[in-house]
């Protein structure tokens, strides 16, 4: 433990309050990689066919990935790189445990005692099953918090749209609970046709969606940036996908309390009914980027910054563009993780650059975590290109600057 404390102290000093993070790759046995997250083509199944393909990169994560009995003890967890070669490293989770107020700020540390979010790139070749993330009251029954999440579809990560770039959300407004219950009870009889009760929305690049817990959704095949609460609870309610892929019964009952197994009425209770049948779902949940202040004034100062995920008080995200040849200092009220999508230059004491291809286990200079003191003081960013923007995505837990 004393060694961990010295590593945290060193990491804070080396980066001036900014941590360099190692890439965190996560496989899913029920997914097929879309191959847009820059992992080397030979490495998508490097963990073995039984683990499934790697189609997620987790960002600023202190959350363990729940991937069944073969899951590694550090799966889904971000590592801070303390030295240049990565020989000295410490989990972001452990660093927060040891120096929470110095990393998250005194207010957030006192309120939560942990980092309450992570983000990810989700990169599947086809659509996911119609599924739900539990609300607090249901997640608490399996010892977890509920899970709000949000989506954003970066142009830089989507050179192709995959097999089905449309997402089903909720249910048609006229849908009854009896219809959904009948669909759930037919899960093991073939295609339970739950998508027949829903509606799909065309996904648009550089826009996003708010997905509160309890809302049914079958994500489409765009590579998606997903800021979300620090939880991995879910249950899959669709039995057969469009390409004939069968969803296992274990995923229908995932994160279900043992005493409720086999109780289809309980699965129905997990759904936030009013949000799912809301005829104004698009109006309330769709998100187009919103500039943090006047765009022309920002451009004159060398950058453009926008809120891209902003309809949830617990999790939010910004996109920052630093214009070619410019140096800017950007202040934020809260700690945040960040990922570089485009360009190269410097970020505080660090080099920042966007890799074109990454081997499994390789270090990169594209992911960082900015502590609250460093964010409040301001992060100095220099774009060393004379023609290309630096583009950063910044993911926050609670942020007092966010106005919903």
Q: Write out pLDDT tens, residues 360-370.
A: 999 999 999 99
From residue 14, give the alpha-carbon distance in Å to each of 80, 84, 327, 377.
Answer: 11, 10, 21, 16
Give the whole-angstrom CA distance, residue 164 versus residue 166: 6
* Pair 179, 307 in one domain: no
On whether residue 91 sits in a domain, the answer given is no
Give the whole-angstrom CA distance, residue 265 versus residue 274: 17
* Pair 312, 204 in one domain: no
CB 249 within 8 A of CB 339: no
- CA nearest neighbour of 315 among 146, 103, 166, 194: 146
On whether residue 179 sits in a domain, the answer given is yes
pTM as predicted: 0.95
On whether residue 144 sits in a domain, the answer given is yes
On whether residue 84 sits in a domain, the answer given is no
Range of the domain at 208: 25-77+117-277
On whether residue 10 sits in a domain, the answer given is no
- Interaxial angle between packed helices 92-104 and 2-14, expressed in degrees from 0 to 180 and rounded to the nearest 10: 60
**pLDDT tier, 66 (very low <50, low <70, confident <90, very high otherwise):** confident
* Pair 251, 299 in one domain: no
For residue 64, pLDDT over 60 is answered with yes
* Pair 54, 193 in one domain: yes
Among 277, 304, 331, where does a domain finish? 277
Per residue in 258-283, pLDDT (tens digit) is 999 999 999 999 999 999 999 999 99
Burial (Cβ within 10 Å: 0-12, 13-18, ≥19) of residue 265: exposed
* Pair 61, 130 in one domain: yes
CB 24 within 8 A of CB 78: yes
On whether residue 269 sits in a domain, the answer given is yes
* Pair 331, 377 in one domain: yes
Among 250, 277, 304, where does a domain finish? 277
Give the whole-angstrom CA distance, residue 123 versus residue 142: 28
* Pair 189, 253 in one domain: yes
* Pair 341, 258 in one domain: no
* Pair 302, 373 in one domain: yes
Look at the chain and report how many structural domains it folds into: 2
Q: What are phi and psi of 284, to 5 degrees?
A: -85, -25
**pLDDT tier, 49 (very low <50, low <70, confident <90, very high otherwise):** confident
* Pair 215, 181 in one domain: yes
Look up tokens 């992060």; give the residue: 379
* Pair 268, 295 in one domain: no
pLDDT above 70 coverage of the chain, percent: 100
CB 388 within 8 A of CB 342: yes
What confidence score (pLDDT) does residue 2 get? Answer: 61
Query: Taking all residues of the chain, what is their mean pLDDT, rounded to a whole number?
Result: 96
Among 277, 308, 337, where does a domain finish? 277
Helix H or strand E segment including 168: strand 166-169
On whether residue 282 sits in a domain, the answer given is no
> Rg (Cα) of the chain, in Å, rounded?
21
The domain that holds 219 is classified in CATH as 2.60.120.10
DSSP assignment letter at 254: T
On whether residue 317 sits in a domain, the answer given is yes
**pLDDT tier, 400 (very low <50, low <70, confident <90, very high otherwise):** very high
* Pair 299, 390 in one domain: yes
Q: What is the DSSP string of 332-362?
A: -SS-EEEEEEE-EEEETTEEEE--S-B-TT-
């Amino acid at each position: 433990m004393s060694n961990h404390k010295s590593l945290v102290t060193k990491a804070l000093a080396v980066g001036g309050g900014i941590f360099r993070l190692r890439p965190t790759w996560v496989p899913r046995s029920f997914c097929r990689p879309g191959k847009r997250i820059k992992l080397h083509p030979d490495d998508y199944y490097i963990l073995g066919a039984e683990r499934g393909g790697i189609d997620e990169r987790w960002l600023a994560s202190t959350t363990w990935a729940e991937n069944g009995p073969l899951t590694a003890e550090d799966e889904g967890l971000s590592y801070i790189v303390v030295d240049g070669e990565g020989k000295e490293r410490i989990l972001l989770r452990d660093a927060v445990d040891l120096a929470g107020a110095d990393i998250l700020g005194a207010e957030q540390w006192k309120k939560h005692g942990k980092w309450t979010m992570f983000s990810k790139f989700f990169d599947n070749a086809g659509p996911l099953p119609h599924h739900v993330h539990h609300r607090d009251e249901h997640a608490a029954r399996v010892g977890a918090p509920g899970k709000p999440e949000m989506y954003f579809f970066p142009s830089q990560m989507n050179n192709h749209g995959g097999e089905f770039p449309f997402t089903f959300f909720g249910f048609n407004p006229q849908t009854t609970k009896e219809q959904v219950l009948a669909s759930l009870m037919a899960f093991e009889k073939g295609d339970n046709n739950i998508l027949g009760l829903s509606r799909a929305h065309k996904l648009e690049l550089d826009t996003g969606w708010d997905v509160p817990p309890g809302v049914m959704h079958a994500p489409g095949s765009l590579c998606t940036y997903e800021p979300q609460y620090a939880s991995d609870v879910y249950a899959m309610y669709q039995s057969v996908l469009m390409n004939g892929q069968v969803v296992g019964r274990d995923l229908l009952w995932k994160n279900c309390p043992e005493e409720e197994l086999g109780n289809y009425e309980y699965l129905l209770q997990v759904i936030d009914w009013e949000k799912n049948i809301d005829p104004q779902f698009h109006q309330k949940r769709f998100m187009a980027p919103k500039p943090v202040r006047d765009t022309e004034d920002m451009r004159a100062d060398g950058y453009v910054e926008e809120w891209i995920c902003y309809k949830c008080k617990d999790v939010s995200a910004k996109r920052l563009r630093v214009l070619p040849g410019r140096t800017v200092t950007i202040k934020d009220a809260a700690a945040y993780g960040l990922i570089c999508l485009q360009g190269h230059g410097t970020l505080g004491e660090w080099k920042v650059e966007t890799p074109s291809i990454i081997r499994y286990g390789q270090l990169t200079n594209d992911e960082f975590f900015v502590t609250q003191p460093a964010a409040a003081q301001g992060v100095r960013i220099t774009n060393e290109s004379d023609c290309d923007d630096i583009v950063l995505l910044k993911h926050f837990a609670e942020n007092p600057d966010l106005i919903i």
